[in-house]
Structure 1
Amino acid sequence: MYCSLFAPHQALADPLLARLPDDADGAHDLAHLVRVWRNVQRIAAEEGGDRELLLAATVLHDGVHVAKNDSRRSQASRLAAEQARKILSSLGWQTSRIDMVAHAIEAHSFSARIAPQTLEARVLQDADRLDALGALGVARCFYTAGQMGNALYDPFDPQAHERALDDQRFTLDHFKTKLLTLREGFQTATGQQLAAQRHARLLAFREALLEEIGEAPVR
C-alpha cells in the first residue's frame, strides 16, 4: 500500500503504519512522516543511530493527534509514546528497545520540553523540527492557523511593536514566538547545518510578507 516510502525498512514500517489512526491533520499526516524519515536518514548518515529504532520512532511519533489549541497539547508526545509501547509490544519487540523508541517519541516534542538522552532521540527531534522550518514550516504554520481560524496578522500592529505577541490570534506572531527560535535547539551538527538553511528561508518569507503589507521588516 505504501510502496517504498520508508525504504529500506518498508517491511518494518508497514505493520506500524497499519496501526495508526485516521484522524491526522495535514500537518501531521503520512506526508509529514515521510519527510521526517528522509530527514532522519540524512542526519543519521552523518551522526549514526540504530535505523530500526529510528524508523519505529519516526512512524509512531505523532500517533496520537492532539490539536494545537487543545489543553492536552503538551501531553501529545507522551500519549504517542504510550501507544507506541502497546503497538511494539504486540509485535514482539524487546522491552529495552521499546523503551528507547518511547523515549525518542516523548522527547521529540517542542511543547513537552523533555531533553533527549539518546542519539536516536536527538536525531528524531532534529528531523521533526526541520519540518517546522523553511518553506515547509511556512506551509504547515499557515495550514494549522487556518484550521484554528486565526488571522494572518494584526492589521494595526503586524510586528507587535506595541502589543504582546499572540500566536493564538495572529499567524505571523508564531514566527517570533516559536519558528524563529527553533534553530538554537538542534541537537546534532548535521541538524544544526540544515536548520540554519531553513531558518534563512523563514526569515526571507517573513521579510517578503512584511514588505508586501507595507511594513519595514524588523528582525
Structure 2
Amino acid sequence: MNPSEILTKTENYVRQKLEGEGTGHDWWHIHRVRNMALKIGKEENADLFVVELAALLHDIADHKFHDGDEDIGPATARNWLENLNVDEKAINHVTHIIRDASFKGAEVDTPMKTIEGKVVQDADRLDALGAIGIARAFAYGGHKGRELHNPDIPPKKHDSFDQYKKSTGPTLNHFYEKLFLLKDRMNTDYGLKLAEERHQFMEEFVNRFLLEWDGKE
C-alpha cells in the first residue's frame, strides 16, 4: 500500500471515529491540526508522511476519555498502522509523537525528540489557542460539568501528569494552568509567530470576561 492510500484510509478511519464528537476533540480538530502540521512541516523540511499520520492519529484514543490511560492512544494507533503494513520505523516514530505531544502540567517538561514531533506538537497547541482554543476550552468544561469561573478556587501549577489529569477546577482556571503557558513552549518560529497572535486574543478575552464578571465593563 503506497503512502497516499495509507493516509486516505487513516483519514477515513479517524473521521468515522471522531465525527460529531462534542468536546472539541472531534474530527474538525484533527482536520485543523493536520493542515497546520503540514504547513509548519513544509517550513521545517520535516517528513510529511510521518507528520500527517501523527497529526491524524494524535487524538484517536485520548487519555481524557479513557480513564487517564496514557497507553491507549499509542496502542490504538500502532494497531491501526500495523494492519496497514506501515513500516515499523514509521510506526515507532508516529506512536512516540502521540505519546509525548500532549501538555502534561505547568511544571512538567514535554520535549519532542524529532522535528516531526515538534511540528505536530506545535500544530496541536495552536488549536488550543485563540478563538477556537477558547471555544474548545468551554466545550470541554461543559462536557465535564465544570463551572465557568469561581473566584474562590485559584488556578494550580500542576507538577505531575497525574495531578494535571485529576484537575477539576473551573474552565477559566484552565487558561492559567495551560493555555497561557503554551506560547512560550512552541518549538518552531512559525508556530511561535501564530501562537503570539492567538495568545494576545485570549488575554483580551479573559480580561473582558473578568470585567463583565465583576460588573466593571
Does structure 1 retain, via aligned residues, the 8 Å contact 2:155–2:169? no
Q: Counterpart of 2:10 in structure 1: which amino acid?
A: L
1:101-146 CA distance string (max 9 Å, x none) = 1111112111285421011000000000000000011000000000
Query: CA offset at residue 84 of structure 1?
Result: 1.4
- Which residue in the other structure is 2:130 paired with? 134
SS in 2 for 1:110: coil
- Which residue in the other structure is 1:64 paired with? 61
- Which residue in the other structure is 1:92 paired with? 85
Does structure 2 retain, via aligned residues, the 8 Å contact 1:47–1:190? no
Higher RCO (CA-CA < 8 Å; seq separation 6+): 2
Which of 126-135 and 47-56 deviates more? 47-56
Q: Counterpart of 2:46 in structure 1: which amino acid?
A: G
Going from structure 1 to structure 2, the CA distance change for 1:114 and 1:214 (only over 3 Å counts) comes to closer
CA distance in 1, matches of 2:91, 2:125: 23
Q: Counterpart of 1:209 in structure 2: which amino acid?
A: F
SS in 2 for 1:32: helix
CA distance in 1, matches of 2:116, 2:188: 11
TM-score normalised by L of structure 1: 0.81
- Which residue in the other structure is 1:185 paired with? 185
Going from structure 1 to structure 2, the CA distance change for 1:216 and 1:12 (only over 3 Å counts) comes to farther
- Which residue in the other structure is 2:96 paired with? 103
Q: Which runs of 5+ in 2 are unaligned?
A: 157-166
The correspondence for 1:13, drawn from 7, 26, 48, is 7
Q: Which runs of 5+ in 1 are unaligned?
A: 1-8
- Which residue in the other structure is 2:33 paired with? 36
- Asked whether 1:207 is paired with 2:202, we answer no
- Asked whether 1:152 is paired with 2:148, we answer yes
- Asked whether 1:165 is paired with 2:162, we answer no
- Which residue in the other structure is 1:3 paired with? none
CA distance in 2, matches of 1:105, 1:25: 21
Query: CA offset at residue 87 of structure 1?
Result: 1.2
The correspondence for 1:22, drawn from 14, 17, 21, is 17
Q: Counterpart of 2:79 in structure 1: which amino acid?
A: K
4+ residue segments displaced more than 6 Å:
none
Aligned residues: 199
Going from structure 1 to structure 2, the CA distance change for 1:10 and 1:133 (only over 3 Å counts) comes to farther
CA distance in 1, matches of 2:45, 2:215: 44
SS in 2 for 1:67: helix
SS in 2 for 1:172: helix
CA distance in 1, matches of 2:204, 2:6: 39
**Aligned-residue CA RMSD (Å):** 2.4
